[in-house]
Structure 1
Amino acid sequence: MTRVFSEKISTRARTRPELEAAVKLAGDIRASGVAVTLVVHEHKRLGRGIELALLAEELKTNAVGLEFLSGELKGSHDPSGTVFTVLAALPGMEREYIRDRTLEGHEFARKRGKSIGGASIGDDDMLAMALHLRDQKMSLRDIAKKLVITKGKKKGQHPSPATVLRMLRDHDEQTAQPAHDE
């Protein structure tokens, strides 16, 4: 018997209904005495870090096998084996390293006066609204949900919280600089 579960959700998401359903079904089938193997495209799609370790332990407890169709861990694995655990942790560590290096590069570029990111999507009205909502102690995520982009390819969409942060930070930096008399 083959059952396919498909999910297009980030492995960072707290709730992954299809993965949870697949693991539950695998455990239920295994409890009836049938051998079960959970087959995943690539280990990076299954999870990262502690979440992957917890999932591996659950699979091991239920005697469910694990197989990856591609990637560094291609093949069948003991879900709680040491090699699997170490290799599974590497992508999370690599991601953190890349993130840290990217943030350092952005900060270095900002200090040299370089602009980071794509074309500006904000305007004076959006900035005024963002400042007003920030004064009301709203989170960046909530502010982003209330704003609407009025120009360009993303017209009609909401900006990301990161875009709101950048817009507010740029405003704060500009207003904090003393005026120069010529």
Structure 2
Amino acid sequence: MRLAGEIRSPHVAVTLVVHEHKRLGRGIELAMLAEELKAGDVGLKFLTRDLTGHESARKRGKTTGGAGVTDNDMPSVALHFRNQEMSLRDIAKRLAITTGTKKGRHPSPATVIQMLREHDEQMATAMST
């Protein structure tokens, strides 16, 4: 990230090229890195495997993780914190799971990413109709 920041300029695009996504980490580490890169205006490309399978499953309504931990109020609270430019980790630390076996615990930053992405997609769909 530091090197990409040093190289990047208004006329130079920087893309991190990785052989496989598992070389960067799994789950939350990869999602957080992708968000950091995006925020730093750095591209990310995988040579042999990408996350299209996960994206395709998500669009079909299939989950790629454990049981749902969000409730109806959580997205609006997360949006409020995102508008204050809080990091995903900080947002996750301020949210609390209200039901189930994880009641009282915090959702993962990956859950926050997914929740915010779904909200953004719903808003984009509503705006286009």
Is 1:176–2:124 an aligned residue pair? yes
RMSD over aligned Cα atoms = 3.0
Residue of structure 2 in register with 1:148 after alignment = 96
CA distance in 2 between counterparts of 1:155 and 1:165 reads: 20
Structure showing greater Rg: 1
2:83 aligns with one of 135, 139, 146:
135
CA distance in 1 between counterparts of 2:121 and 2:112 reads: 14
Structure 1 unpaired stretches of 5+: 1-92
Residue of structure 1 in register with 2:112 after alignment = 164
CA change 1:152–1:180 in 2 (3 A) is: same
Structure 2 unpaired stretches of 5+: 1-19, 27-45
Could you say which structure has the greater relative contact order, defined with CA pairs below 8 angstroms and 6 or more residues apart?
2
Aligned positions, number: 89
Is 1:106–2:62 an aligned residue pair? no
CA change 1:158–1:98 in 2 (3 A) is: closer
Tell me which amino acid in the other structure corresponds to 1:124.
N
Q: TM-score, normalised by structure 1?
A: 0.41
Shift in Å, 1:102: 6.9
CA change 1:139–1:176 in 2 (3 A) is: same
CA change 1:180–1:149 in 2 (3 A) is: same
Tell me which amino acid in the other structure corresponds to 1:105.
G
